[in-house]
Amino acid sequence: MTTLLAIDTAADICSVAISRESRLRHRTSPGVRKHAADVLPMIQSLLDETGIKLKDVDAIVMVSGPGSFTGLRIGTAVAQGLSFGADIPIIRISSLMMLARAAFLASGRRSGTDCILFTCMHAREDEYYFAAYCDNGNSAPRMLIADQITDAASILAHLDTQQHSS
């Protein structure tokens, strides 16, 4: 029975979750950009609610960006502190990869069917975080284009290249 603690502080709202035996419990911060004040109490609340001790967690899953620089620093510090204190490994995942999986699930495709997904998040001015993944719903999405920061013209060029190669 694998128990995972997930921490996402990459966006304006932070969230945490515990997964055990295919059951998922989660908390979302009630305030915008209140990560430092909210993330540890939310984790403790989940641990208390589920009766799980931190030492029983098999891994900490941490969203490693892209996203809010300050939020990512807070999430990293919390994950590293818990990891070091309880000797728990950390698994890093990309917020763009999470978007790809969410898009796959929302598409209604059956698991086992490959789907190429382009993910994009606004960074600042005319810059965007961009990546491409192949997802089949059965395992972690496979990276086709690594997470990067780029401009809109470059993203359109990637999409145009994909359209002509299909």
* Contact between 19 and 6 (Cβ < 8 Å): yes
Distance of CA 22 to the CA centre of its chain: 18
* Contact between 75 and 14 (Cβ < 8 Å): yes
| 13-32 tens-digit pLDDT | 999 999 998 899 999 999 89
Distance CA 56, CA 47 (A): 10
Tell me the whole-structure pTM to 2 decimals. 0.89
| 65-118 tens-digit pLDDT | 999 999 999 999 999 999 999 999 999 999 999 999 999 999 888 888 899 999
